[in-house]
């Protein structure tokens, strides 16, 4: 999935929400569409859950293909997996 996301977001140089969250269980990243676990280690910044409200997984933080945790209160470009197509 990581290679697909990097390809899809190749021309975006801004943080992009990738349809992944750890809101249900801190530190366990899952797809919001399928619930599938999405473990990853190429963090651009530490997944520190700053102030207890960073559950939104973004791509392209600190470099292309790098992940970060951020808040849902920000507006991001996004890419999401859609089932049934």
For residues 62 and 14, what is the distance between their CA atoms, to the nearest angstrom?
10
Residue pair 20/57 in contact (Cβ under 8 Å)? The answer is: yes
Residue 31 tokens, joined: 């797809």
- pLDDT confidence of residue 34: 87
For residues 66 and 85, what is the distance between their CA atoms, to the nearest angstrom?
28
Query: Which region, left, alpha or beta, applies to residue 48 given φ > 0 means left and ψ of -120 to 50 means alpha?
Result: alpha
- What predicted TM-score, i.e. pTM, was given to this entire model? 0.75
For the segment 7-44, what is each residue's pLDDT rounded down to a tens digit? 666 556 678 888 899 999 999 999 888 899 988 878 88
3-state secondary structure of 56: strand
Residue 59 tokens, joined: 């791509």
């Amino acid at each position: 999935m990581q290679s697909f996301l990097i390809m899809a977001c190749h021309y975006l140089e801004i943080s992009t929400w990738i349809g992944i969250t750890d809101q249900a269980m801190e530190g366990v990243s899952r797809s919001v569409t399928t619930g599938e676990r999405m473990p990853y280690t190429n963090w651009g910044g530490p997944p520190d859950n700053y102030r207890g409200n960073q559950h939104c997984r973004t791509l392209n933080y600190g470099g292309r293909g790098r992940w970060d945790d951020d808040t849902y209160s920000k507006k991001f470009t996004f890419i999401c997996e859609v089932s049934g197509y």
